[in-house]
């Protein structure tokens, strides 16, 4: 009790508290290598979140003195349960130390050093007694697999044969991770351009059966099949290219038959994986390509619609883009295209397709759609990524010019849009600093922005004044016309500001 009060008192004085005490003991959290990072994207989204709702009970370990955040005290992989307890032998201690050295070497990218330690570490497989190894052979194997792969991938002297050999050994060692090891190996082969070998491995992995272990690795099996489908698609598209190059007469029936075989195999596998909620962009694109080639447009449309609009799938802007491009290729009506982009606009207002959306809406005769077009282009320019996009700025300038020329019929649209932005757009887009920079970097951009600044903020706006001044100094003709235009439409500026003022006073 006294100790705490004492430390409290020290803490009040801003002194560091008990530095270096109570460090967590135990090997470091460490998980080298791992399945390549983009692999995560391809895992299906889980339906329930129950497993994560409750805090894992560290309270039982620590009593009520549990840390508010679960610290990586115990690494999931490299912690060996066998070494715990009073029976920790010298050998176990050495192993722990060895593991720490390996980690150290890996993190400093010293692959040779890591490899040397790894060789020593592998003895664990031989020396450990059977009873001890019973406790966590899977974890051990996974650790060896991951560390070994990482070292082999980076080591300057390693080659493909060695890695193949290592992977084969690993597959037999850890049955529980068989398919994961396969996947990793296949990615490696694919990255090195060994498509055929990868295909062989996929075929082997697909037919692998090992009792209950197969069922447990169902997700991986689906992925294996999907990748096999993808490779089938790859082969198919190669054949298609060859076919397009050759004349129809030279293209024999047998090769056509072959191509159709590839199609069938690919379609079956790809269709399977797309059913599971997840992000399957490459698979969907290939599947749709296959279907389109054989003229099954209804199926393709169904797949794409499902992929974009099924709420079980994570919100994926790419799905909308795929659907839009498909419909566009099919020459669908404007209406359906607009409706697709409208949904995309709601989820991702900063999408690249928004400019296309704007041009479609601009041409529309309906006021409502043109109103939406103005909204879209304004919203696009809200985003930092579009800040210096000349095309977007010229679209907006063009639209507003059109409205002004149209006897200010829709000036209230501009007013409404401007109202929500007038407190931050000037600082965000039309500052003096930006005027200087835009003028230096992109004159066209400066011109468009100056036009808008002159209309929206009046001719006293710093941005407008600076750009105009520079433009006139450089004796550019269009800046003269700009000046005239802004002068002519000064009343519009007054109306915009006046209305917005009154609306804020309401």
Integer-rounded Cα Rg, in Å, for the chain is 32
Part of the chain binding other proteins (CB under 8 A), chosen from 208-216, 230-238, 333-341, 428-436? 428-436
Q: Of the two residues 210 and 433, which places its CB atom closer to other proteins in the complex? A: 433
Decide if 353 contacts 391 (C-beta within 8 A): no
Q: Of the two residues 13 and 505, which places its CB atom closer to other proteins in the complex? A: 13
Is position 25 an interface residue for other proteins (rule: CB under 8 A)? no
CA 50 to each of CA 15, 47, 54, 80, 112: distance values in angstroms, whole numbers, following the listed order: 42, 9, 8, 28, 44
Q: What minimum distance in Å lies between the beta carbon of 384 and other proteins?
A: 5
Is position 43 an interface residue for other proteins (rule: CB under 8 A)? yes
Q: What minimum distance in Å lies between the beta carbon of 11 and other proteins?
A: 8
Is position 317 an interface residue for other proteins (rule: CB under 8 A)? yes
Which of 133, 154, 240, 325 is in the footprint of other proteins by CB under 8 A? 154
What is the per-residue burial (b if ≥16 Cβ within 10 Å, else e) of 283-292? bbbbbbebbb
CA–CA gap between residue 122 and residue 16 (Å, rounded)? 43
Residues in region 252-311 near other proteins by CB under 8 A: 279
Q: What minimum distance in Å lies between the beta carbon of 6 and other proteins?
A: 6
Is position 9 an interface residue for other proteins (rule: CB under 8 A)? yes
Is position 346 an interface residue for other proteins (rule: CB under 8 A)? no
Decide if 178 contacts 221 (C-beta within 8 A): no
Q: What minimum distance in Å lies between the beta carbon of 356 and other proteins?
A: 16
> DSSP secondary structure string, 73-111?
TS-SSS--GGG-STT--HHHHHHHHHHHHHHHHHHTT-H
Part of the chain binding other proteins (CB under 8 A), chosen from 67-75, 253-261, 402-410, 458-466? 67-75
In a 13 Å sphere around the CA of 214, the CA atoms on its Cβ side amount to 7
Is position 149 an interface residue for other proteins (rule: CB under 8 A)? no
CA–CA gap between residue 283 and residue 42 (Å, rounded)? 10
CA 323 to chain CA centroid, nearest Å: 19
Q: Of the two residues 56 and 491, which places its CB atom closer to other proteins in the complex? A: 56
**Among candidate residues 113, 117, 103, the one with its CA nearest the CA of residue 75:** 103
Q: Of the two residues 351 and 489, which places its CB atom closer to other proteins in the complex? A: 351
Is position 341 an interface residue for other proteins (rule: CB under 8 A)? no
Residue 424 has φ and ψ, to the nearest 5°, of -130, -20
Q: What minimum distance in Å lies between the beta carbon of 349 and other proteins?
A: 8
Is position 20 an interface residue for other proteins (rule: CB under 8 A)? yes
Provide the token pair at 270: 């790809």
CA 289 to each of CA 22, 29, 161, 237: distance values in angstroms, whole numbers, following the listed order: 60, 44, 35, 9
Provide the token pair at 225: 């099949």
Part of the chain binding other proteins (CB under 8 A), chosen from 65-73, 236-244, 368-376, 447-455? 65-73
Provide the token pair at 103: 């980690």
Q: Of the two residues 72 and 81, which places its CB atom closer to other proteins in the complex? A: 72
CA–CA gap between residue 451 and residue 482 (Å, rounded)? 7
Q: What minimum distance in Å lies between the beta carbon of 240 and other proteins?
A: 25
Is position 97 an interface residue for other proteins (rule: CB under 8 A)? no
Q: Of the two residues 181 and 434, which places its CB atom closer to other proteins in the complex? A: 434
Which of 31, 169, 401, 476 is in the footprint of other proteins by CB under 8 A? 31
Which of 428, 458, 462, 465 is in the footprint of other proteins by CB under 8 A? 428
CA–CA gap between residue 207 and residue 292 (Å, rounded)? 30
Is position 191 an interface residue for other proteins (rule: CB under 8 A)? yes
Is position 229 an interface residue for other proteins (rule: CB under 8 A)? no
Is position 15 an interface residue for other proteins (rule: CB under 8 A)? yes
Which of 333, 424, 488, 503 is in the footprint of other proteins by CB under 8 A? 424
Long-range contacts of 113-121 (CB under 8 A, 24+ apart): 114/147, 114/151, 115/151, 115/155, 118/147, 118/148, 118/151, 121/95, 121/147
Total interface residues for other proteins by CB under 8 A: 99
Which of 120, 127, 172, 192 is in the footprint of other proteins by CB under 8 A? 192
Part of the chain binding other proteins (CB under 8 A), chosen from 184-192, 222-230, 327-335, 405-413? 184-192
Q: What minimum distance in Å lies between the beta carbon of 2 and other proteins?
A: 5
Q: What minimum distance in Å lies between the beta carbon of 464 and other proteins?
A: 17
CA 58 to each of CA 62, 74, 322, 330: distance values in angstroms, whole numbers, following the listed order: 6, 12, 46, 57
Provide the token pair at 437: 């920079």
Is position 69 an interface residue for other proteins (rule: CB under 8 A)? yes
Q: Dihedral (C-alpha) 273, 279, 283, 287: value to the nearest 10 degrees?
A: 80
The helix/strand/coil state of 226 is helix
Is position 81 an interface residue for other proteins (rule: CB under 8 A)? no
**DSSP structural state of residue 42:** G
Which of 213, 318, 364, 394 is in the footprint of other proteins by CB under 8 A? 318
Residues in region 370-409 near other proteins by CB under 8 A: 382-385
Is position 459 an interface residue for other proteins (rule: CB under 8 A)? no
Which of 82, 99, 102, 106 is in the footprint of other proteins by CB under 8 A? 106
């Amino acid at each position: 009790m006294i100790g705490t009060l004492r430390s409290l008192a020290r803490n009040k004085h801003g002194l560091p508290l008990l530095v270096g005490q109570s460090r967590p003991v135990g090997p470091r959290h460490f998980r080298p290598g791992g399945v390549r990072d983009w692999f995560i994207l391809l895992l299906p989204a889980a339906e329930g979140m129950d497993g994560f709702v409750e805090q894992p009970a560290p309270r039982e370990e620590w009593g009520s003195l549990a840390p508010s955040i679960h610290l990586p005290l115990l690494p999931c992989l490299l912690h060996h349960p066998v070494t715990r307890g009073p029976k920790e032998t010298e050998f176990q201690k050495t192993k722990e130390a060895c593991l720490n050295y390996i980690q150290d070497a890996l993190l400093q990218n010293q692959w040779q050093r890591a490899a040397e330690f790894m060789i020593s570490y592998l003895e664990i497989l031989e020396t450990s007694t059977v009873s001890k190894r019973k406790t966590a052979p899977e974890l051990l194997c996974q650790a060896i697999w991951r560390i070994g792969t990482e070292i082999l991938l980076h080591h300057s002297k390693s080659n493909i044969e060695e890695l193949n050999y290592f992977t084969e050994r690993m597959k037999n060692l850890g049955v529980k991770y068989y398919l994961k090891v396969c996947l990793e190996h296949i990615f490696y082969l694919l990255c090195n351009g060994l498509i055929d070998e990868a295909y062989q491995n996929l075929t082997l992995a697909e037919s692998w059966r090992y009792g209950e272990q197969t069922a447990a690795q169902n997700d991986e099996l689906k992925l294996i099949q999907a990748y096999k489908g993808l490779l089938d698609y790859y082969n198919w598209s190669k054949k298609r290219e060859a076919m397009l190059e050759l004349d129809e007469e030279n293209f024999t029936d047998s090769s056509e038959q072959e191509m159709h075989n590839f199609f069938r195999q690919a379609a079956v596998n790809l269709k399977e994986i797309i059913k599971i909620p997840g992000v399957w962009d490459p698979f969907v694109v290939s599947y749709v390509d296959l279907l389109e080639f054989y003229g099954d447009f209804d199926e393709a449309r169904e797949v794409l619609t499902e992929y974009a609009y099924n709420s079980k799938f994570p919100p994926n802007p790419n799905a909308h883009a795929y659907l839009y491009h498909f419909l566009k290729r099919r020459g669908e009506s404007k209406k359906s295209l607009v409706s697709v982009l409208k949904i995309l606009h709601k989820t991702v207002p900063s999408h690249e397709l928004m400019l296309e959306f704007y041009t479609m809406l601009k041409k529309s005769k309906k006021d409502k759609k043109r109103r939406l077009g103005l909204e879209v282009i304004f919203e696009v320019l809200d985003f930092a990524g579009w800040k210096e996009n000349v095309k977007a700025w010229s679209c907006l300038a063009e639209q507003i010019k059109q409205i002004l020329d149209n006897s200010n019929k829709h000036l209230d649209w501009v007013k409404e849009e401007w109202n929500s932005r007038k407190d931050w757009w000037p600082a965000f887009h039309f500052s003096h600093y930006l005027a200087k920079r835009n003028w230096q970097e992109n004159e066209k951009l400066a011109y468009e922005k100056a036009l808008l600044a002159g209309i929206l903020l009046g001719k006293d706006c710093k941005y407008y004044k600076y750009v105009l001044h520079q433009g006139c100094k450089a004796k550019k003709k269009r800046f003269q016309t700009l000046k005239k235009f802004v002068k002519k439409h000064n009343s519009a500026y007054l109306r915009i500001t006046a209305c917005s003022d009154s609306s804020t006073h309401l």
